[in-house]
Amino acid sequence: MTCEYCNGNVNTSALCCEHCGRIVEPHATGTLECEHHPIPAIGLCVVCARPVCSDCAVVHDHRIFCGSPEHPKLFEEYELLYIAESEFEVDLIRRNNPDATLQFRTFPYSDHWTLVFDGRMNGVRLFVHREAATQARDYLKARDLIE
């Protein structure tokens, strides 16, 4: 389906749009609270996945950020490569990194989830420096980790 906020393509089972971070229908709001206030989050920071309400969210280019000044900058330099199922999987990817040229940054959802939402809250967001993104994608494809 299409995200009503950014027109990106969203998997129907996803809690939020991976392009802009907005919580999407049918999950809608109320599922998740802002990390700072006991009110519903409107989305997750596209970098660290921290849930934020409309007061806390900082929106750049239709994307939701948590308010950390570093995250929009990080988003410019790094791109989301893959959402791994666990830290273990990320470790494997790091260890197999052929020449250590791929700079990864990871943000586990579990840093922020206090509430378990049928398993989709697990996972680790794996970012790679944009300059190495093509190389990283080929690398993960060669290992059948992404399509």
Kindly list the residues in this chain that would bind Zn ion in the complex (CB under 5 A).
3, 5-6, 8, 17, 19-20, 34, 36-37, 45, 47-48, 50, 53, 56, 66, 68, 71
Look at the block and give the residue holding tokens 């299409």: 2
The residue among 56 and 124 lying less far from Zn ion, judged by its C-beta, is 56
Rounded Cα distance, 144 and 147, in Å: 7
Cα of 22 vs its chain's centroid, Å? 11
Minimum CB separation from Zn ion for residue 135, in Å? 26
The residue among 112 and 139 lying less far from Zn ion, judged by its C-beta, is 112
Q: Go through the chain and tell me how many residues it has.
A: 147
Asked if 144 and 129 touch (Cβ cutoff 8 Å), the reply is: no
Minimum CB separation from Zn ion for residue 58, in Å? 9
Residue 69 CB coordination number (10 Å) = 9
The residue among 126 and 140 lying less far from Zn ion, judged by its C-beta, is 126
